[in-house]
Amino acid sequence: MKKNALYIAALIAVFAAALALRIPQLDQKPLHGDEANQAVRAGMLMDSGVYHYDPADHHGPVMYFAAMPFCRATASSFAETTEWNFRLVTVAFSVLTMVLMLGLGFKSAGGLFSNRSGMLFALLFTALSPALTYYSRFFIQESMLVCFLTGMLICGHGYLRSRESTGNLLLKPAVMAALFGLFAGLCIATKETAVLSFAAMFVAALTVFGPKRLLQFWSSRDALIATGSAILVAVLFFSSFFTYPQGVADALFATVKTYFFRATKVPEHQHPWNFYLKIIFWFKYGRGPLWSEAGVLIPAAVALGVAVTTWVKKKTAATAHTRFVLFLAVYTLVLTFIYSAIPYKTPWCALSFLHGAILLAGVGAGYIIDRSAQLPTRALRTLAYLSALWLTAWLAAAHTLQNQRACGKLAADPRNPYVYAHTGRDAMELVASIERAAAAAQGFDTFIAIAVPTPDTWPLPWYLRRYRNVGYWTRIDQIPASLQPTIIVAAADQGDAAAERFGKDMQANFFGIRPGILLNLFVPPEAEE
């Protein structure tokens, strides 16, 4: 009874730590261009009730629909929303990931973790991971994808266990197959890169079971149930609940072309193979602080070593627990290899395999505790427990310190490894200047013209969401001659054209929207007095 109370108290403390790191000051960091893009897309759904999947510039629909309850809770229109409405969405799904992890189970029942200590370790470092925490405070799809992939792991393993035994309704094969398909469909409709995780899972399953045993485990009926469930969920979202069939066709065909082009032809996002490994496990920018989550690799390596050793000894007689651990290890390694091999890289893509490594680390931590309990004397056991506790506390403190830097004063600083093409603080000065000039003119009815190439426009559409007369063009000469905007934002190379077109008496200033991107702001002279 006492042990149960301590375990529950520890779980509460871990979840409290996760919330304490994720919720404070969600609105302090400037919105990244990708976040703004997603928020505006969700805002269109909020205001019009209509969503059409666009594979060219956006990801899957799930996040936009998931954002609606969070937005409607405090706002009646997109113009009234704040950063909190959107960033709380990914915070919620990152915490839901931890809730789902409780379903990964224990060794005694064929689950993943050998004991409660191992599960607590995995939960703690999911809560404290600087990368997982930082991007859970981002309105982008990765935290949701990790959540649904965790659900797939639980249901896939649960299905295999249900085929080996009989039990209550939730463990029946057909139910687990349907739930597996549900999570798979959510993954697909969340982000197109889910197919990379599916490929890694397939390789892991073939490695652990072999094609013959794998076919024996899956019945034709259950395979159809899982596939049908996944297709139904994906079609529901991509078709906007059967109101836009073209979205399904675009998801099937246009997406392949779009992502093949991005993976191979976009030079500004092409990075060397070790890009993710450097960011996650050993990053130092100039004289900036060291960032690393390499501490989880040691217990993860222990888990891999034990699983491989046990597998080699027992092979087909290996327990469900050993199969699960080996599956997770192969899945994580293959997924890491796939993402590293693709030239196109953005740091948040690392979350899927990083979470796999943290789960493995929890397994390894449990093995270490189990081995410590087998030491011959009480003194040695006590020393081993205290050493494990001290190392865990030291790692937790190091991760907490990194979190404070990452989500605090370095939240938009290039010395932070998770900062990538982020909106600069100077952009907030640009927005403030626009707001001052608009307040001196017609307020939210002020005519604002943006003449900037599309990728460099973001996140301005988010920050100008309350203004009712904003026009977007890519060049000054595209603005109709009949229009005379009060405020003009132009690309750096359009400054002369803007001055000639709208008058050289306009007050002009340069602002950096993000690293390497400068914009010109033109406002009436009296606006800056």
Same domain, 20 and 92: yes
Looking at every residue in the chain, the average pLDDT score rounds to 91
- In this structure, is residue 419 part of a structural domain? no
- In this structure, is residue 245 part of a structural domain? yes
Same domain, 354 and 280: yes
With CA atoms as reference, report the closest residue to 117 among 357, 375, 388. 388
pLDDT in tens, 454-501: 889 999 999 999 999 999 999 999 999 899 999 999 998 988 888 888
Q: Which residues pair with 488 in a beta bridge?
A: 449, 522
Give the pair of three-digit tokens for residue 31: 């919105």
Same domain, 398 and 500: no
Q: Residue 167 above 60 pLDDT?
A: no
- In this structure, is residue 420 part of a structural domain? no
Same domain, 221 and 274: yes
pLDDT of residue 476: 92
Domain boundary among 407, 442, 471: 407
Domain boundary among 407, 437, 471: 407
pLDDT in tens, 370-389: 998 888 889 998 998 999 99
Q: Residue 241 above 90 pLDDT?
A: yes
pLDDT in tens, 494-507: 888 888 888 767 88
With CA atoms as reference, report the closest residue to 353 among 367, 369, 339. 339
pLDDT of residue 313: 76
CA distance 272 to 340: 8
- In this structure, is residue 458 part of a structural domain? yes
- How many CA atoms are closer than 13 Å to the CA of 396, on its beta-carbon side? 19
Indicate the burial class of 6 (C-beta count within 10 angstroms; 0-12, 13-18, 19 or more). Answer: exposed
Give the rounded percent of residues in the chain with a pLDDT score beyond 90.
70
Global pTM reads 0.94
Q: Residue 177 above 90 pLDDT?
A: yes
Same domain, 341 and 469: no
CATH, residue 485: 3.40.190
Residue 395: which domain range? Answer: 2-407
Domain boundary among 362, 381, 407: 407
Same domain, 9 and 83: yes
- In this structure, is residue 415 part of a structural domain? no
Tally of domains in the chain: 2
The edge-to-edge listing of strands for the beta sheet with 469-473 is: 469-473, 447-451, 487-491, 517-523, 507-514
Count the Cβ atoms, other than its own, within 10 Å of residue 428: 15
pLDDT in tens, 250-301: 888 877 666 666 655 566 778 999 999 999 999 988 888 899 999 999 999 9
3 state DSSP class of 278: helix
Determine if the peptide bond prior to 459 is cis (ω within 30°). yes
Q: How confident is the model at residue 527 (pLDDT cuts 50, 70, 90)?
A: low
Same domain, 440 and 395: no
Amino acid, single-letter form, for residue 131: A
pLDDT in tens, 6-25: 999 999 999 999 999 999 99
pLDDT of residue 209: 87
Q: Residue 418 above 80 pLDDT?
A: yes
- HEC secondary structure over 382-450: HHHHHHHHHHHHHHHHHHHHHHHHHHCCCCCCCCCCCCCCCCCHHHHHHHHHHHHHHHHCCHHHCEEEE
- In this structure, is residue 93 part of a structural domain? yes
Tell me, rounded to whole angstroms, the distance of Cα 16 from its chain centroid: 20
- In this structure, is residue 432 part of a structural domain? yes
CA distance 93 to 222: 28
Q: How confident is the model at residue 187 (pLDDT cuts 50, 70, 90)?
A: very high
pLDDT of residue 315: 63
- The DSSP code sequence of 476-529 is GGGS-TT---SEEEEEGGGHHHHHHHH-TTSEEEEEEEETTEEEEEEE-GGGG-
Same domain, 498 and 403: no
Same domain, 322 and 369: yes
CA distance 14 to 8: 10
- The DSSP code sequence of 241-257 is TTT-THHHHIIIIIHHH
pLDDT of residue 264: 59
pLDDT in tens, 333-349: 999 999 999 999 999 99
Same domain, 368 and 479: no
CB 328 within 8 A of CB 360: yes
Give the pair of three-digit tokens for residue 185: 């469909």
Give the pair of three-digit tokens for residue 143: 């935290």
- How many CA atoms are closer than 13 Å to the CA of 393, on its beta-carbon side? 6
Question: CA angle, corner 410, sides to 337 and 515, nearest 5?
Answer: 75
Amino acid, single-letter form, for residue 60: G
Q: Which position has the higher pLDDT, 503 or 207?
A: 207
CA distance 249 to 55: 10
Q: Residue 436 above 60 pLDDT?
A: yes
Same domain, 143 and 54: yes
Whole-angstrom Cα Rg for the chain? 26
- In this structure, is residue 276 part of a structural domain? yes
Tokens 């990053």 — which residue? Answer: 283
Same domain, 401 and 435: no
Q: Residue 161 above 60 pLDDT?
A: yes
CB 283 within 8 A of CB 291: yes
Tokens 């200033």 — which residue? Answer: 509
